[in-house]
Structure 1
């Protein structure tokens, strides 16, 4: 299930419903940077929380602000860097690991998807050194979680 948002476009972005996101943007172009009333997430932050590349790409093409912060003072880049495997991803990797290395390829694919998301945000001008309410930047998060490839991307961008 996950998070429930008060703003329909945020919920659609979180649930990877590109059709609904497109419809909301078409009806009201100003909703692209709307912030949810509960935690201040934007549609872009919602999509980054779940790693939805198509939604992120769509929102960026419509000039979504990559540097807007939610109530925890986090940007979409903070969430993109924090994105880890879901429980379901881990389960599939464990089950498929012995079968012709399918699990390994699944793991590599998910990691590359996360790197693509971070790269997309950096290309759109996301601020690498923006800190959250705990004083942690996206680079600090990558370092703490030992995501070396993402850390390298962020270092190059800062």
Structure 2
């Protein structure tokens, strides 16, 4: 299940196979920014889709371009922010919740991992206000998902809450519509 890629390094990054990713990069460093034939994903975007922190870290250390966009005009940051728990994560969390709060700690750890991923991309110089084919920035998606952990990180990196998407909606409009008052205050201060 998931996505199939025409580029083996992209498939390896998506499947969290660091050994394979390393082999491809060792063979030819140009593979680091190769774009897949199907959807234009780079190995970095593939790793961000699944939240594979070790692979992202490896690619960034080898100067992967954080601002390359795929066919939907999304950067790796869009995917890192859009990353949700998988069905398997939810299943584990629900099954383990009664057992000494293991499920809760698993959920917290997954959330922290996502924050770390976004912070790594921001530190690497990803364009925080890059828009995708819908005119949405990473902040638009963080607001739609009510992600209280990521919104402050994006704002610290100078995400602009006033950028409007193709439907004419800014991130501020989204949080107003969702009646998300704490975040609305944060966005108002930043704008």
Name the TM tier (shorter chain): over 0.9
The match for 1:33 is 33
1:148 pairs with 2:148 = yes
Unaligned runs of 5+ in 2: 159-191
Aligned-residue offset at 1:47: 0.3
Look up the SS of the partner of 1:147 in the other structure: coil
For 2:76, the equivalent position in structure 1 comes to 76
Q: Which residue of 2 aligns with 1:6?
A: 6
CA distance in 1, matches of 2:96, 2:26: 42
Q: 1:88 maps to what in 2?
A: 88
| Aligned mates of 1:14, 1:157 — CA distance in 2 | 27
Q: 2: distance between equivalents of 1:74 and 1:13?
A: 17
Matched with 1:128 is: 128
CA distance in 1, matches of 2:148, 2:97: 23
Q: Structure 1: which 5+ residue stretches go unaligned?
A: none
Q: Post-superposition, which runs of at least 4 consecutive aligned residues in structure 1 deviate over 4 A?
A: none
TM-score for both structures, normalised by structure 1? 0.99
Cα deviation, residue 96, structure 1: 1.0
Q: Deviation digits for residues 90-139 of structure 1, max 9, x if unmatched?
A: 01111111111111101000000000000000000011100000010001
Q: Find the aligned partners of 1:100 and 1:44 in 2 and give their Cα distance.
A: 36
Describe the SS at the equivalent of 1:88. helix
Q: CA deviation at 1:141?
A: 0.5
Cα deviation digits, residues 53-82 of structure 1 (max 9, x gap): 000000000000000000000000000000
Other-structure match for 1:63: 63
Q: How many residues align?
A: 158
Q: Who wins on radius of gyration, i.e. which is larger?
A: 2
CA RMSD of aligned residues (A): 0.5
Q: Partner residue of 1:157? A: 157
